[in-house]
Structure 1
Amino acid sequence: MALSEAFSNIFDNFRFHASIRGDRFLRFSYLIFYYSIFIFIRWGDRYLRCLNWLKASGLSDLRVRIETREGLKFEMDLHTAFDPLFSILHNKDYFLLDEFLPKPGNVVIDAGANIGIYSVFAASRVGETGIVVSIEPFQANFEALSRNVEMNGLKNVRPVKAGVDERAGSAKLYVHERAINHSLTRPSAKSMVIELKTIDGIVSEFGLSWVDIIKIDTEGNVPQVLNGAKDTIARFHPRIAFEHDTPEESKNLESFLRDAGYRWSDLRTLTYACHEG
């Protein structure tokens, strides 16, 4: 990231957090510490080096309760407030294109829901006639997701404690330092066995008559998630937003989408795919 871009990001982040109520002192302290370190580091991955330092200091794990301008309430750690909250609610990750913005009555599947930032936002948009299925395998994240759903009084969210893959069963989830990075495909020193479900299986389990949007943030196994959603994609042609990491993964995904009759756009780090029919 260039220094000019960094300063623009600093301004946006402070302005965004100024618009949010709750634990402002802690949130601004985190921002000040992060950007103070970021500006002076001149080697390696500055972003990761900053986050690792803040994690080691214990600051990242301090918990805050916040309320957005739209009245959405969350409990989360400071790192989650710094990164995913800003990325989703300010940068509009997963709904940068208008057709991906959840609308009243929509059915949305959130694969890799983490603590529920996108799920709560989507549920507030789809209303009582819509449904958001929030899928998250890691126990602490799932508990935070459930609390955030309850804090907002949302009755249209269906939490599912499982990983998402191309086949149902069980697998090893690799546990990383930051709760947003747990992965089925990226090894780490810690791991745990989790239940796996497919999107097709979850659609059948809940008896969903249609699906409008699938959001995928599963840290490395997007091709497998889509393979486990082939029937859902063929039947309902949902809009699909996802992040992918490697050229090989990108090539496989493009082949899948092309065969399924989709067109797509790559914006920032995300792919937005819509059926051509």
Structure 2
Amino acid sequence: MTRLLDSTPPDWLFQRSIVEWTINDRLRTQLPYLYQLFSHYTQLFFKVSPSSPTLRGGKYVLQLLNRLNAVSGNRYVEIDTGTYEVIVDITDPRFLKVVSELSFPDETQFLSELLDEGDTFVDVGANQGTYSIVASHLVGEHGTVLAFEPQASLSEAVRRSLEKAPANYEVFTMALGDRDGEVDIHVPSSYSGRAGIIEAYSGKRTHDTKQVPIRRADTVLESRESKGNWVVKVDVEGAELAFLRGAQTFLSSVTPSLIIEMNPHSMRDANITEDKFIKEIRGLGFNFFQHTKRGEAKKDIEKLDLSGDKKKDLILN
């Protein structure tokens, strides 16, 4: 029973704001018939419980559908949101959030303030590629997107999506860290977004461990021709300092804006303290920060507060 519960997707993934796109007629009909059962369940549930903020029971319905779908072997599905075309891996429950993010792109609107035609965007920990897809449309045919995702099935989804997007692109099936070689990545059975190289965080529950290539950003990116401004997004579940230490020459040469997700839980498991983080980024020349959603003015990095249990999405300059 414990193993079964460990493999179910997290409750937050079934918030109404995330799953509601599945009952949109135009989007729902793009799902395979089997997964349209999930949309029917969603529609019925919210009809019966219109005030509920979450889709209760949704994670078990989706888990069952994934097991039935495993027989057919169907994995990748194309969804046209009206603004973006995305190829999602429907065997990964996080596809619900990916389509939601691209259908209602509140979380990524700030990118338009950082990227222009001809710029270069680096997506470290791309998952299924939300940021890469949005960035591709912002940098256009003269810009470049470089996406790094160590989970092979997800990097393939990103590659297929970027084939349909306007920018030049490369997708790398590898992790970025502080050394060149191989590393174990721990992929929870419940949710790909928690995958990472910090076993204390990503390996807490039922998971698979796979060996993947790891490279320093200095190795892969230092010799890249600079195109426009650079923006680097980092979402690596506790390996933030490892990435930064392997990217010192690259970061100093292109002086990008750095978007970084700080998860207090993965930070604790990786032994990253607030002082360590601030010292590291200050040493790399990042002196100011702001949050991605608040539209606030830049603040001195010494005023950064990483306390509490909520994730913080930061822009560093």
User: For this structure pair, what is the TM-score category when the shorter chain's length is used for normalisation?
Assistant: 0.7 to 0.9
Alignment match, 1:235: 253
**Whole-angstrom CA distance in 2 between matches of 1:197 and 1:49:** 41
User: Residue 29 of structure 1: CA displacement?
Assistant: 4.3
How many pairs were matched up? Answer: 260
Call closer, same or farther: CA 1:91–1:232 in 2, change over 3 Å.
same
Q: Distance in 2 between matches of 1:273 and 1:86?
A: 22
> Are residues 205 and 91 of structure 1, via their aligned partners in 2, closer, same or farther at CA, if it must alter by over 3 Å?
same
Once the two structures are superposed, what CA deviation does each residue of 1:72-126 show, in whole Å capped at 9, x if it has no partner? Answer: 24243173331133235524435436533x3211111011122333212211221
Does residue 258 (structure 1) correspond to residue 305 (structure 2)? The answer is: no
Q: Indicate the RMSD between aligned Cα atoms, in angstroms.
A: 3.6
Alignment of 1:111 with 2:140, yes or no, is no
Counterparts of 1:202-221 in structure 2, within 5 Å, are: 202-208=220-226, 212-221=230-239
The 5 Å alignment of 1:2-17 reads: 9=17, 13-14=20-21, 17=24
Contact kept, 8 Å, 1:198 with 1:225, in 2: the verdict is yes
**Greater Cα shift, 235-244 or 251-260:** 251-260
- Written as runs of structure 1 = structure 2, the 5 A alignment for 1:27-42 is 29-31=37-39, 33=41, 36=45
Tell me: CA distance 1:27–1:75, structure 2 relative to 1, closer, same or farther (3 Å).
same
Q: Give 1:155 deviation, angstroms.
A: 5.7
Q: Is the 8 A contact 2:21 2:100 kept in 1?
A: no
Equivalent residue for 1:54, pick from 35, 51, 62? 62
Match of 2:142 among 101, 119, 129: 129
Shift of 1:51: 3.2
Amino acid at match of 2:215: K
Cα distance change on mapping 1:141 and 1:205 into 2, 3 Å: farther
TM-score, normalized by length of structure 1? 0.76
Contact 2:143 2:167 in 1 (8 A): no
- Cα deviation, residue 34, structure 1: 5.8
- Aligned residue number for residue 195 of structure 2: 182
Which residue does the alignment assign to 1:3?
none
Q: Does 1:167 align with 2:185?
A: no
Change (3 A) 1:19 1:222: farther
Greater Cα radius of gyration, structure 1 or 2: 2
- What is the CA-CA distance between 1:222 and the residue it aligns to? 1.8
Percent identical pairs in the alignment equals 17
Give me the TM-score of the superposition, normalised by structure 2: 0.67
Distance 1:73 1:273, change over 3 A: closer
**Secondary structure in 1 aligned to 2:116?**
coil
Secondary structure of 2:82's partner? coil
> Structure 1: 5+ residue runs without aligned partners?
1-5, 41-45
In structure 2, the CA distance between the partners of 1:89 and 1:205, relative to structure 1 (3 Å rule), is farther
For 2:279 and 2:24, locate their aligned partners in 1 and report how far apart those are by CA, in whole Å.
Answer: 40
Shift of 1:154: 4.6
CA 1:71 to 1:108, structure 2 compared with 1: closer, same or farther past 3 Å? closer
CA distance in 2, matches of 1:226, 1:164: 9
Structure 1 Cα separation of the partners of residues 120 and 23 of structure 2: 28
Partners of 1:88 and 1:118 within 8 A in 2:
no
- How far 1:234 moved relative to its partner? 2.0
Q: Which moved more, 1:259-268 or 1:224-233?
A: 259-268
